[in-house]
Amino acid sequence: MANSENMGHWQKWIGNLLRICRLVRSHYFVDEAGNFDFSNKPGASRYFILTSVKMADCSSADALISLRRGFEWAGVEFENGGLHATSDKQAVRDAVFERIAEMDIRIDTRVFEKRKISPELQTLEAMYDLAWSTHAIHTLYDSVDRDEELHIIAGSIGVKKKNRILMINQIRNAVHLAGRSQRDTVVTISEAKTDPGLQVADYCCWAIQRRWERNDARSYDLIQSKIATEQDYFESLTDYFY
């Protein structure tokens, strides 16, 4: 009896090991741009933008660590302890985008014009639900095979605990709607300074936001060849709510 149980244990262990060896793990680094101020007040963004960067091999993003160290040696200070497109000097941005242009990545982005969102959906929770569900459904089918593991790493700066839990739940729900198995998908929330992959996503999302908010395509043009999908989700709508 004991031998039979041991045999079953080892067969299960070997089966799991073979399954792991067969699987490919893709990493989705995700960042957002825009705020949740649904008004025309100064400082309110016109768009909310969700951008994902898919990497099969994350080692290419590690080049940003060496790049940052080189700038630090030259006397450049980084406000957030890591690369961050909004606050980095232009010389740093130029160098980062040069590295990103060399990476084997896939960029997908969804753009939501906030004025076209009906009042009952003008909340953080509803916006996250809409953004993540549409993004997952429109990208995961095409970019992640069924036999691939998926690690989604979403970047967020200074998110309160309750909103962090909300984000994780919204992402998991979106993954489920896209037909992904929870068993093969892991969702984590981290600050961009902790992961060079998130810093790549931050830079890509920033470049896309500059194009949409300011009609400034300087940085966007450097990554455009990496963009697989870019959707203005409310493009066909004509009604504005503020």
The structural domains of the chain, ordered by start, are: 25-232 (3.30.420.10)
* Three-state helix/strand/coil letters over 122-142: CCHHHHHHHHHHHHHHHHHHH
pTM for the complete prediction?
0.85
Provide the residue type at 229 as one letter: T
Provide the residue type at 226 as one letter: K
Tokens linked to 206: 């920033």
Compute the distance between CA of residue 19 and CA of residue 66 in angstroms, rounded to an integer. Answer: 35
Q: Give 190's pLDDT tier (boundaries 50, 70, 90).
A: confident
pLDDT at residue number 160: 62
Provide the residue type at 235 as one letter: E
Strands 24-33 and 148-155 come out as parallel
Query: Residue 26: pLDDT above 70?
Result: yes
* Average pLDDT value over all residues in the chain: 86
217-167-131 Cα angle (round to 5):
45
Compute the distance between CA of residue 153 and CA of residue 105 in angstroms, rounded to an integer. Answer: 15
